[in-house]
Amino acid sequence: MQNLNKVTIVMYHYIRDLKNSRYPKIKGLDLFLFIEQLNYLQKNYNIITMELLIEALYNNESLPPKAVLLTFDDAYLDHFTNVFPILFDRKIQGSFFTPAKAISENLVLDVNKIHFILASADNIDYLVSRTFNELDKYRNKYELESNDFYYGKLAVANRLDLKEVAYIKKLLQKELPEELRNKIVNTLFEEFVGMSENAFSREMYMSRDQLKCMLKNGMHVGNHGYNHYWLNSLSEEEQRFEVRKGCEFLKEIGVDMNEWTMCYPYGAYNPITLNILEETNCKLGLTSVVDVADLSVYNKFALPRLDTNEIPKDSNSKVNDWFLKG
Ligand SMILES: [Zn+2]
């Protein structure tokens, strides 16, 4: 028998025509593969809206069999230019999660700067050596460990990244003190990408008007924090700030705050986060745990998602294990 309490929530980031873009090496989903995947999903699943998922969570409405929800993180301009017209045309809803500060202050998130530094570097070994120079420069002031220490600790290949790439990402996203991380990221961004942050931000993220346009046309827009920090690394007060400022931004662009939703940057949250969301009348929270969301098993503030790479990108592909679990 079908379980009508399950939804497969798919997570997307960059979606663009990679080889014709300025940064063909950026790790994103090619637009034609997104279309193929959408065809596959429409053929095998029922694409649902956020409103229906909220109904299922709060009013015990059952979901259609093989329900799938499409989510897009970080409010990239890619989503407005490439994704929205396709969804609109097919009368499908997408849910878009905005890191508010990047948009309201025309800044670029460090995580995105790092992606574009990596995509702009012709030689990864040279980039690694540049981080060593930077560490040398600041070693005394910040009481840093040796270069070998950081490289030995962080250069571990994973499912997505070569060991050199994993080292750069971890060093600059988390390992070093925040103030120093920002300094080094900005130096390398200037050197490898060479564009002003303000100009880059405008070609990177959607504007308020574009978000409003999507809302008006039936898309869902949710909270993805203010600074795009790991919430579980913040104090309660700092977490409240992230949630509140994210909500203020949603209010400003016209989101119905009776149905606001949260998507944790990096999928990171802790019990304090869940209390804050409960108190502030958040309807649901999305993590980056890889699984089908069974509503009878998962906390409504900790719903798992599948990355696009977990799902076939060929309209005629046979279904995979995730389909069977969904
Ligand atoms: Zn994000």
CB 305 within 8 Å of CB 284: no
How many angstroms does the Cα of residue 41 sit away from the middle of ligand 1? Answer: 23
| Distance (Å, whole) CA 131 – CA 183 | 11
How many angstroms does the Cα of residue 264 sit away from the middle of ligand 1? Answer: 7
How many angstroms does the Cα of residue 265 sit away from the middle of ligand 1? Answer: 5
How many angstroms does the Cα of residue 143 sit away from the middle of ligand 1? Answer: 30
How many angstroms does the Cα of residue 46 sit away from the middle of ligand 1? Answer: 26
CA dihedral defined by 57, 248, 267, 212, rounded to 10 degrees? 80
How many angstroms does the Cα of residue 74 sit away from the middle of ligand 1? Answer: 5
Cα–Cα nearest to 99, from 209, 201, 212: 201
How many angstroms does the Cα of residue 29 sit away from the middle of ligand 1? Answer: 15
How many angstroms does the Cα of residue 262 sit away from the middle of ligand 1? Answer: 11
**Domain locations along the chain:** 6-99+205-325, 110-199
Q: Which amino acid is at 222?
A: G
How many angstroms does the Cα of residue 198 sit away from the middle of ligand 1? Answer: 19
How many angstroms does the Cα of residue 316 sit away from the middle of ligand 1? Answer: 30
Architecture of domain 6-99+205-325: Alpha-Beta Barrel (3.20)
Low-confidence residues of the chain: pLDDT under 50: 1-3
How many angstroms does the Cα of residue 73 sit away from the middle of ligand 1? Answer: 5
pLDDT at 61: 85
pLDDT at 157: 95
| Distance (Å, whole) CA 248 – CA 280 | 12
How many angstroms does the Cα of residue 3 sit away from the middle of ligand 1? Answer: 30
How many angstroms does the Cα of residue 140 sit away from the middle of ligand 1? Answer: 33
Tokens of residue 26, six digits: 């950026």
How many angstroms does the Cα of residue 224 sit away from the middle of ligand 1? Answer: 7
How many angstroms does the Cα of residue 271 sit away from the middle of ligand 1? Answer: 20
How many angstroms does the Cα of residue 5 sit away from the middle of ligand 1? Answer: 27
pLDDT in tens, 25-48: 898 999 999 999 999 999 999 999
How many angstroms does the Cα of residue 139 sit away from the middle of ligand 1? Answer: 30
Note the pTM of the prediction, 2 decimals. 0.93
pLDDT at 60: 85
